[in-house]
Structure 1
Amino acid sequence: MTDIGGVEASPARPAKGGRLSFLSPDRLFRSAGVRFGVIYAGLFGISALALAAFLWWSTAGLLERQTDAAIETDWQGLLERFDDGGMLGLIEAIRQRVDANVNDDAIYLLAGPDMRPIAGNIDQWPRRVTVDVESTELLIERAGVKGLAKVHKYDLVGGFHLLIGRDIEARSQLSHMLADAMLWAAGIAVALGSVGAWAVRGLFRVTIADVSATASAISAGDLTRRVQVTGQGDEFDMLAETINDMLDRISRLMDGVRQVSNAIAHDLRTPITRARARLEDAALHATSEADLRAAIDRAQADLDDIVAVFQALLRISEIEAGARRSAFASDDLAPLLRDLAELYDAAAEEKGLVLEQQVPAVLPVFGDRDMIQQAVANLLDNALKFSPPGGVVRLSASAGRDAVTVAVADGGPGIPQDSMARATERFYRGEQARNTPGSGLGLSLVQAVATLHGGVLRLEDNHPGLRAVLRLPSTEAKPAG
Structure 2
Amino acid sequence: MGGTAQRDLPAGWDALLRLLRSAGFRFALLFTGVFIGASALFAAVLWYATAGSLDRQTAVALRADTLGLMERWREGGPGAVAEAIAERLAADVENTAIYLLLGPDRRRLAGNLDRWPAGATDDGVWVYGIVEREGTRVEARILARELGEDYWLAVGRDVEEKQRLRELLAEGIGWSALGALVFALGGAVVLRRALESRLHPAVQTARAIAAGDLSHRVPLSRREDEFDRLGEGMNDMLDRIDRLMVAVRGVSDAIAHDLRTPIARARAKLEEALAGSDDPEALRAAMEQGIADLDHISRVFSALLRIAEAEAGARRAAFAPIDVVPLLAEIAEFYGAVAESRGQVLETALPPWLELVGDRDLLAQAAGNLVDNALKFTPDGGRVRLSARMLGRERIEIAVEDSGPGLAPADRARAGERFFRADASRGTPGSGLGLSLVQAVARLHGGELVLQDADPPPGLRAAMLLGAG
TM over 0.5, shorter chain: yes
Letter in 1 for 2:53: L
Between 215-224 and 42-51, report the one with greater CA deviation. Answer: 215-224
Give per-residue Cα distances to partners, 1:56-78, cap 9 Å, x unaligned. 11111111111111111111111
Letter in 2 for 1:318: E
Does 2:175 match 1:212?
no
Of 91, 95, 109, the match for 2:82: 91
Letter in 2 for 1:76: L
Between 378-387 and 139-148, report the one with greater CA deviation. Answer: 139-148
Between 68-77 and 124-133, report the one with greater CA deviation. Answer: 124-133
Output the CA distance in 1 between the equivalents of 2:341 and 2:97.
121
SS at match of 1:409: strand
Contact 2:143 2:154 in 1 (8 A): yes
Matched with 1:294 is 285
Of 411, 434, 448, the match for 1:456: 448
Unaligned runs of 5+ in 1: 4-20
Deviation at 1:32, TM superposition (A): 1.4
Cα distance change, pair 390–377 in 1 and its aligned pair in 2 (3 A): same
Deviation at 1:451, TM superposition (A): 2.5
Report matched runs for 1:341-380 at 5 Å: 341-380=332-371
Output the CA distance in 2 between the equivalents of 1:195 and 1:466.
69
Between 236-245 and 90-99, report the one with greater CA deviation. Answer: 236-245
Does 2:466 match 1:468?
no
Deviation at 1:330, TM superposition (A): 2.8
Does 2:163 match 1:172?
yes
Output the CA distance in 1 between the equivalents of 2:218 and 2:451.
34
Unaligned runs of 5+ in 2: 4-11
Matched with 1:46 is 37
Contact 1:394 1:410 in 2 (8 A): yes
Between 239-248 and 328-337, report the one with greater CA deviation. Answer: 328-337
Cα distance change, pair 120–192 in 1 and its aligned pair in 2 (3 A): same
Output the CA distance in 2 between the equivalents of 1:260 and 1:89.
112
Contact 1:364 1:399 in 2 (8 A): no
SS at match of 1:428: coil
Matched with 1:441 is 433
Matched with 1:9 is none
Of 413, 417, 428, the match for 2:409: 417
Matched with 1:279 is 270
Cα distance change, pair 446–95 in 1 and its aligned pair in 2 (3 A): same
Cα distance change, pair 420–148 in 1 and its aligned pair in 2 (3 A): farther
Matched with 1:7 is none
Matched with 2:115 is 125
Contact 2:73 2:147 in 1 (8 A): no
Deviation at 1:22, TM superposition (A): 10
Output the CA distance in 1 between the equivalents of 2:336 and 2:133.
121
Of 280, 296, 302, the match for 1:311: 302
Contact 1:110 1:120 in 2 (8 A): yes
Deviation at 1:423, TM superposition (A): 1.7
Sequence identity percentage: 49
Output the CA distance in 2 between the equivalents of 1:281 and 1:326.
48
Of 215, 239, 242, the match for 1:248: 239
Give per-residue Cα distances to partners, 1:14-59, cap 9 Å, x unaligned. xxxxxxx996223432221111111110110011011011111111
Cα distance change, pair 145–464 in 1 and its aligned pair in 2 (3 A): farther
Contact 1:116 1:125 in 2 (8 A): no
RMSD between aligned residues: 2.5
TM-score, normalised to structure 2, is 0.90
Output the CA distance in 2 between the equivalents of 1:24 and 1:114.
78
Report matched runs for 1:89-168 at 5 Å: 89-122=80-113, 124-131=114-121, 134-142=125-133, 146-168=137-159
Matched with 2:6 is none
Deviation at 1:325, TM superposition (A): 4.0
Does 2:405 match 1:406?
no
Deviation at 1:140, TM superposition (A): 4.3
Deviation at 1:298, TM superposition (A): 2.1
Of 323, 330, 336, the match for 2:321: 330
SS at match of 1:435: coil
Between 441-450 and 257-266, report the one with greater CA deviation. Answer: 441-450
Contact 1:260 1:426 in 2 (8 A): yes
Cα distance change, pair 247–445 in 1 and its aligned pair in 2 (3 A): same
Deviation at 1:85, TM superposition (A): 0.7
Output the CA distance in 1 between the equivalents of 2:13 and 2:390.
63
Deviation at 1:321, TM superposition (A): 4.3
Contact 1:365 1:403 in 2 (8 A): no
Q: Which has the higher contact order (CA 8 A, sep 6+)?
A: 1
Does 2:420 match 1:428?
yes
Output the CA distance in 2 between the equivalents of 1:285 and 1:66.
121
Between 166-175 and 429-438, report the one with greater CA deviation. Answer: 429-438
